[in-house]
Amino acid sequence: MKKKLHLLPAHKRLMQGLGERIQLARLRRQLSAERVAERAGISRGTLINVEAGEPSVAMGNYFQVMRVLGLEQDFGLLAKDDEMGRKLQDLGLLSKKRAPKRRTDA
């Protein structure tokens, strides 16, 4: 039995938006769902779930569909700009007021 993932409404809308953009990309290319699913190596049902933004679909399936549509480079943009992570890192890099003393072994 597959475990259902529960997302906050805002996060669910983000996933649905991704699915809608993937579906629009397929339609713009005038590709049938059957053809894209076949080329991606997934079932038509899985493609329907991808296009619905279903969070339980494996990330690899999203990538395969994007690859078939020629959007694989967009996949590399996920989590590219980690602004919060950089801010947290910068907070941990507080500079010391003076440099440490050098040891002289004379």
CATH number of the domain at 14, please.
1.10.260.40
Q: Cα(77)–Cα(7) distance, rounded to whole angstroms? A: 22
Confidence of residue 29 (pLDDT cuts 50, 70, 90): very high
Q: Please indicate, yes or no, if residue 51 is contained in any of the structural domains.
A: yes
- Domain for residue 106, yes or no? no
Element (H, E) at 48: helix 44-51
Per the structure, the complete domain to which residue 56 belongs is given by 9-71
Query: How many CB atoms lie under 10 A from the CB of residue 71?
Result: 14
Using pLDDT thresholds of 50, 70 and 90, give the confidence band for residue 65.
Answer: very high
Higher pLDDT, 52 or 80: 52
How high is the pLDDT of residue 76? Answer: 86
| Contact of 50 with 18, CB cutoff 8 Å | no
pLDDT of residue 4: 74
Question: Residue 72 — pLDDT band, cuts 50, 70, 90?
Answer: very high
Query: Which letter does DSSP use for residue 96 in this model?
Result: P
Closest CA to 59 of 44, 70, 46: 46
Residue 22 lies in a domain: yes
pTM over 0.75: yes
